[in-house]
Structure 1
Amino acid sequence: MARRIKELINEMDSEKKRDTVEVPLLDHECIQQVWKDQQRHSASIQDPEGFPLYLKTGTLKNGGVELCCYWCARGSTSLEFFHLHLNRFISGTSASDPTSRRTSWKV
C-alpha cells in the first residue's frame, strides 16, 4: 500500500498535473513532508494480508439486479457511530494540542 500511495503522490506532484488555471495540484515540499510524516501509518489503515474481513451472507435483488450482501468483521455501525461521537465530544484538534489538555496539577 505504501508503494501505491507514493506512486500516486509522485504522479499528482508532477509538473503536468495542474488545474485549469495552471496552478500545480500539490505543493511539492508540503506533500513530500506530509508523506514523510504519515507513511508510518500506512500499515494500520489496510486490511491484514490473508485474513478475510468480508463474508458473503447472501444476495439481494434490487431493480432487477442481483447484489451480493456482505458482513464486515472490521466493526459495527454502532461502534463507528460511537467513535464519531467521541470526535465531536472531545475538544481540540489533536492529542498534542495544548488547548485540549486540562490538568490541575499543583507544583
Structure 2
Amino acid sequence: MIGRAGYTVLLLAMTSSASHALDGEQSRGKALLQTLCSRCHAVGQTGTSPHPDAPPFRSFGDDKLYDEDFAERLQAGLSTIHPDMPTFQFNRADAEAVVNYLKAIQVRPKAK
C-alpha cells in the first residue's frame, strides 16, 4: 500500500514534466484531433504523419496557424487546397480547445 506521502510523491512525479502535462481543455482538443485528423496527421508530441503530405501538428509554428482568427476559421469551416483533406467545422469551445492543444505541443527551434 502507498501512504499519503507516497501518493504526494507520485502526484508530483506525474506533474513535474509541465511541458508534457495537458490541462482538461487541451486534453479535449487532443481527443478531437485524434478522432478527426490522426488518419493523416501526427497529432501528438512525437511520431510521423501517416499521410506523407500531412505535416505533424507539432510543427505548425505560431506564425503558420495561430494568428488571431484561427479559432474563428475552425468555427467557420477549416478547409485547405489539399485535395485529400475534408472540411472541418468546430463549435467555439472545441475550436478553442484545439487551438490551445496545438499551441501546447509546438516544437520550438533551439536557440543557437
TM class by shorter-chain length? Answer: under 0.3
Which is richer in strand?
1
The two structures have a TM-score, normalised by structure 1, of: 0.25
Query: 1 or 2 for the larger relative contact order (CA 8 Å, sep ≥6)?
Result: 2
The two structures have a TM-score, normalised by structure 2, of: 0.24
